[in-house]
Amino acid sequence: MPDPGHNQANRAELAENRAAAYRLKLRGLSDRAAGAELGVSHTTIQNWTKQEADEIVLPLAAELRKVQLERLGEMRQAGLEVLARIHFTVSHGKVVHMAGEPLEDDGPKLQAIDRLLRIEERISKLMGTDAPTRAEIEARVEPRPAELEALIAHARARMEADEVEMTGEAGP
């Protein structure tokens, strides 16, 4: 029957090695140098440092994402409240009336909509639900000047001549 303490000791040793590799990398050592110091290959160092970074960084990133989502949720709620309220047009400190009724102002609602869209975009980015962005790349290749073409042809001819001189046979 396998010794359960042995497996636990191996995990503890692996955790110590990963932490040591991570510290060496933080000190600026290359993967090969850190591997030499710990007596393992550079690929093992790469794996250990990635695992250690994931173990340290991913939980912190998840916590930060959670806090940001909570804040964005609060901002979203405030935006929805502004959107739900009735806003009246004010001029010179007085409510503007039309046909005896206060004139509603659509500006604050439109601003709230714009803000809500920005909040929703940020939430989508944090959650990773945005569609990937497509980019078009256009390349223009300018023709080479005749002088440059002549220099290249001359250099090739010299190179072929030098090769014939060295080997005694012509190239392809």
3-state DSSP call for residue 102?
Answer: strand
3-state DSSP call for residue 28?
Answer: coil
**Residue 140 backbone dihedrals phi, psi, to 5 degrees:** -115, 130
pTM for the whole structure: 0.52
pLDDT at residue 172, rounded to an integer: 56
In terms of DSSP bridges, do strands 101-102 and 90-91 run parallel, antiparallel, or are they unpaired? unpaired
CA distances from 9 to 14, 15, 19 (A): 9, 10, 15
Report how far residue 89's alpha carbon sits from residue 105's, in angstroms, rounded to the nearest whole number.
Answer: 5
pLDDT at residue 53, rounded to an integer: 87
pLDDT by residue for the chain (172 residues), tens only, comes to 555 555 776 888 888 999 999 999 999 999 999 999 999 999 999 999 999 888 888 888 889 999 999 999 999 999 999 999 999 999 999 999 999 999 999 999 999 999 999 999 999 998 888 777 777 888 777 777 888 888 888 899 998 888 888 877 655 5
